[in-house]
C-alpha cells in the first residue's frame, strides 16, 4: 500500500524528496504494526496489578515497572503474546495455549 502511494506521489510530484518517502514508509509501517495487526488478531484488555502483572487465560505475565493500575491490550499469536499500552508494544512473552481436557 505504501509503495502504491509513493508511486502516485512521484507521478504527481516528480520533485519530491527522499525524506518524504521515508516519512510515508514510516507511517505505513506504523499503521501496519498497530491498526492492521489489531484487525487480524483478537485483542483483550487487562488491568496491570500493583505487582506489575496481568492474568491472561489462567496464566500470569510480568509487565515492566511503571504500568501498575493501567489498562493494557493483549494480542495472542500462536507462540507468543504481545502486550501494548496506548498502541506501544511494552513486552512480548512466550505463550502456549493451555490444553483443556
What's the pLDDT tens digit per position in 71-89? 999 998 888 999 999 989 9
Q: What's the pTM value of the predicted model, to 2 decimals?
A: 0.60
Q: Are residues 33 and 65 in the same domain?
A: no
- pLDDT at residue 54 in the model: 97
Cβ atoms of 74 and 54 closer than 8 Å: yes
Q: Are residues 68 and 83 in the same domain?
A: yes
- pLDDT at residue 1 in the model: 57
Answer left, alpha or beta for residue 57, where phi above 0 means left and psi between -120 and 50 means alpha: left
Cell numbers 501496519 correspond to what residue? 32
CA dihedral 11, 13, 19, 21 (to 10 degrees): -30
Give CA–CA dist 86/51, Å, rounded.
20
Q: Are residues 35 and 49 in the same domain?
A: no
Q: Report CA Rg, the chain.
A: 19
What's the pLDDT tens digit per position in 7-50? 787 788 888 888 887 888 888 777 776 666 666 677 899 999 99
Q: Containing domain of residue 89, as a range?
A: 42-94
Amino acid at each position: 500500500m505504501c509503495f502504491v502511494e509513493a508511486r502516485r506521489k512521484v507521478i504527481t510530484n516528480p520533485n519530491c524528496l527522499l525524506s518524504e518517502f521515508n516519512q510515508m514508509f514510516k507511517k505505513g509501517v506504523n499503521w501496519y504494526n498497530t491498526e492492521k495487526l489489531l484487525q487480524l488478531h483478537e485483542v483483550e484488555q487487562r488491568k496491570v496489578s500493583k505487582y506489575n502483572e496481568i492474568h491472561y487465560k489462567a496464566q500470569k505475565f510480568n509487565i515492566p515497572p511503571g504500568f501498575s493500575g493501567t489498562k493494557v491490550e493483549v494480542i495472542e499469536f500462536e507462540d507468543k503474546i504481545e502486550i501494548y499500552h496506548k498502541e506501544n508494544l511494552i513486552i512480548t512473552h512466550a505463550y502456549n495455549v493451555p490444553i483443556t481436557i
